[in-house]
């Protein structure tokens, strides 16, 4: 074959291969273009949109908290803050320095911003400072074009109209701590707060709501141009409490004269907590806006414990307020009868130990009625000895002592009712009869919260297993609760309960009763109750007899606690109030002199306001109580 012919065939073959390759490449390119422009057009359109549109989460408005009549106890108000978005600024430290030339930024805020920028997603704004004044906000807004990644945001700040008055009920909200982060972007938002105590914590998931979103168009420098779309999310649900804001304010004011007080008011039929005051208190707005280290130090080191909810977490020996339980245990067990007489010479001896009555000369011979009325320790020493610790412990637990009541906020403590098993488990030693005697007057190892003492009185007054609670399903309907909750019967003989209630009525309304001076003189509103004094520091009989150290000279932290619990009105109990005045028992006065007047005033005010039925006029209350006794006579100072 000629050489030219062979070259021509070779060139033709190479041209064909080259042409085929070009066709394949062109086809592949066309297919890829078709894939990009047809099959994947939505994906790349979205990617292009994301280059100019930022999707931001919006904090939902937190649900409000109302009292039983619809009064707002917690709501939200506007709040301006300056934030930095880490991914939109070249250097956070430089940005902080620039902001610091416009407004004050503390070193603590600087450290916090740098820390949060590292642990959060880069697209999540980090708050530099919140609660800006109008002037501060305006200075930053003017400088925004020179501050990449910096923005002014308008959010909501949790607001508590009643301030410290309801702090221990409502609790407070605060920023999410690092250990509380669980990957939910909502928890990383700078304006997001979660409940840390009280109702805010217990109902947090209900109050939070669902996050919204905002689509914001930005330019090449990341500056927001306009908001394209917005979904505000779902606001948190509102919560209704059984609390009465007016009574809460009244009780707070009434307790303000004492250094440290716990006071709770119950609706004895429904279990609604109408007022709960632990004084001194704190301002929950301090936590919502951001607590300073100095303020935290002051609150946490105050010996009066303003951060503690003493009504549900304070543990105190119930003292003589425990005696009604002892009486019922002995009556139910047949250890005594209503006519049993016990002689009180002022003391009782057991082995080498001597147990004294608060009345040094003794009370003489007493039956149950007068023993409750005059709060005779010797009578209840002997009553407890006859009943035995097993009966005492079982009856105490039936009335709510020694266990949590299941309150619908956190922080409740169960107290302690000692018995044989507890003693053996904790100390390895057997129970001693002397410990039974101490238990009989609410001393020794017995510990209770003010809420438990109030619950005891509510169960006594109704004969049912009342369980206290704060949260209601709805606001109080006009005319009050027509069908209050049905609680199970207490399971104690009604006749025995009436005997104890009669004795508690005598405590207040009969001459010689330990709280006679604190009685309510208006018959329709009269109360029955029981005073108590619990030792903090043991004062020996020798010290008392020889006046080596009068109680008025004892340091405040070493003085006895003063207690009082009562129900009203006597003929048809509806309200129960228990009060503990920490270290308030001085000069032999005890609960009858210090705590009883507080309870009297609270129960009188509650009956006149009648928050359970919302009947404003006291004239509409039936004349249920016996006529007031004459003014003559005096108060026994016991407790």
Between 192 and 401, residue with greater pLDDT: 401
Instruction: Please say if 320 is a catalytic residue.
Output: yes
CA distance 340 to 324: 16
pLDDT, tens only, 531-560: 998 877 665 444 455 454 555 677 877 788
pLDDT tier at 453 (50, 70, 90 boundaries)? very high
The pLDDT of residue 151:
87
* CATH class (in words) of the domain with range 245-620: alpha beta
Domain range annotation of the chain: 55-241, 245-620
pLDDT, tens only, 123-167: 778 888 887 888 888 898 888 888 888 888 887 889 999 999 999
| Model confidence at 109: pLDDT above 50 | yes
Predicted structure pTM score: 0.81
428-434: which pairs have CB atoms within 8 A and are 24 or more residues apart? 431/389, 433/350, 433/385, 434/350, 434/351, 434/353, 434/355
Q: Which residues contact 458 (CB under 8 A, 6 or more apart)?
A: 266, 268, 271, 466, 468, 567, 576
High-pLDDT (> 90) share of the chain, %: 54
> What superfamily would CATH give domain 55-241?
Penicillin-binding protein 2a (Domain 2) (3.90.1310.10)
Contact 520, 304 (CB under 8 A): no
Phi, psi (deg, nearest 5) at residue 437: -65, -45
The pLDDT of residue 4:
62
CA distance 529 to 502: 10
Between 447 and 80, residue with greater pLDDT: 447
> Angle 91-94-96 (CA atoms, 0-180°, nearest 5)?
110
CA distance 169 to 158: 15
Which residue is catalytic, options 260, 281, 320, 531? 320
Task: State the average pLDDT over residues 405-422.
Answer: 96
The pLDDT of residue 224:
60
Contact 416, 445 (CB under 8 A): yes
Reported as half-sphere exposure (CB side, CA atoms, 13 A), residue 631 has a value of: 0
| Model confidence at 432: pLDDT above 70 | yes
pLDDT tier at 631 (50, 70, 90 boundaries)? very low
């Amino acid at each position: 074959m000629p050489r030219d012919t062979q070259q021509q065939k070779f060139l033709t073959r190479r041209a064909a291969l080259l042409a085929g390759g070009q066709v394949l490449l062109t086809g592949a390119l066309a297919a890829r273009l078709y894939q990009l422009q047809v099959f994947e057009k939505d994906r790349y359109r979205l990617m292009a949109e994301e280059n100019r549109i930022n999707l931001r989460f919006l904090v939902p408005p937190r649900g409000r908290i109302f009292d039983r009549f619809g009064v707002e106890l917690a709501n939200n108000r506007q709040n301006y803050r300056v934030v930095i978005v880490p991914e939109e600024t070249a250097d956070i430290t430089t940005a902080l320095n620039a902001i610091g030339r416009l407004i004050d930024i503390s070193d603590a805020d600087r450290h916090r911003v740098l820390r949060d920028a590292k642990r959060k997603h880069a697209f999540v704004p980090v708050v530099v400072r919140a609660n800006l004044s109008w002037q501060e906000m305006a200075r930053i807004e003017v400088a925004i074009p020179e501050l990449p990644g910096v923005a002014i945001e308008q959010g909501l700040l949790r607001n508590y109209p009643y301030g410290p008055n309801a702090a221990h009920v409502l609790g407070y909200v605060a920023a999410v701590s690092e250990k509380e982060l669980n990957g939910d972007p909502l928890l990383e938002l700078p304006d997001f707060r979660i409940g840390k105590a009280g109702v805010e914590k217990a109902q947090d998931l209900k109050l939070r709501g669902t996050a919204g979103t905002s689509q914001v168009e930005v330019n090449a420098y990341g500056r927001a141009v306009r908001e394209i779309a917005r979904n505000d999310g779902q606001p948190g649900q509102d919560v209704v409490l059984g609390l009465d804001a007016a009574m809460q304010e009244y009780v707070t004011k009434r307790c303000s004269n004492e250094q440290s007080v716990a006071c709770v008011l119950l609706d004895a039929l429904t279990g609604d907590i109408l007022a709960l005051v632990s004084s001194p208190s704190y301002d929950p707005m301090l936590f919502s806006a951001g607590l300073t280290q100095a303020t935290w130090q002051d609150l946490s080191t105050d010996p009066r414990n303003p951060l503690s909810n003493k009504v549900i977490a304070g543990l105190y020996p119930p003292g003589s307020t425990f005696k009604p339980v002892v009486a019922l245990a002995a009556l139910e067990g047949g250890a005594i009868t209503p006519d049993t007489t016990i002689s009180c010479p002022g003391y009782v001896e057991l082995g080498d130990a001597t147990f004294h009555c608060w009345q040094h000369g003794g009370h003489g011979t007493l039956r149950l009625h007068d023993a409750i009325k005059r709060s005779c320790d010797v009578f209840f020493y002997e009553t407890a000895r006859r009943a035995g610790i097993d009966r005492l412990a079982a009856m105490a637990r039936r009335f709510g002592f020694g266990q949590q009541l299941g309150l619908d906020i956190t922080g409740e403590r169960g107290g302690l009712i000692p018995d044989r098993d507890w003693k053996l488990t904790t100390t390895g030693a057997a129970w001693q009869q002397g410990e039974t005697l101490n238990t009989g007057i609410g001393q020794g190892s017995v510990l209770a919260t003010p809420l438990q003492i109030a619950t005891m009185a509510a169960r006594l007054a109704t004969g049912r297993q009342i369980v206290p609670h704060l949260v209601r399903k709805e606001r109080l309907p006009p005319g009050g609760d027509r069908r209050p909750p049905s609680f199970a019967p207490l399971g104690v003989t009604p006749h025995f309960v009436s005997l104890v209630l009669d004795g508690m009525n005598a405590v207040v309304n009969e001459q010689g009763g330990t709280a006679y001076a604190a009685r309510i003189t208006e018959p329709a509103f009269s109360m029955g109750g029981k005073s108590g004094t619990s030792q903090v520091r043991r004062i020996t009989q020798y010290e008392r007899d020889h006046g080596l150290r009068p109680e008025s000279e004892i340091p405040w932290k070493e003085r006895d606690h003063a207690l009082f619990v009562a129900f009203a009105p006597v003929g048809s109990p509806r309200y129960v109030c228990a009060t503990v005045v920490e270290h308030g028992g001085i000069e032999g006065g005890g609960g009858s002199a210090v705590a009883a007047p507080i309870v009297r005033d609270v129960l009188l005010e509650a009956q006149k306001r009648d928050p359970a039925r919302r009947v404003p006029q006291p004239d509409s209350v039936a004349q249920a109580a016996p006529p007031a006794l004459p003014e003559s006579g005096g108060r026994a100072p016991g407790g």
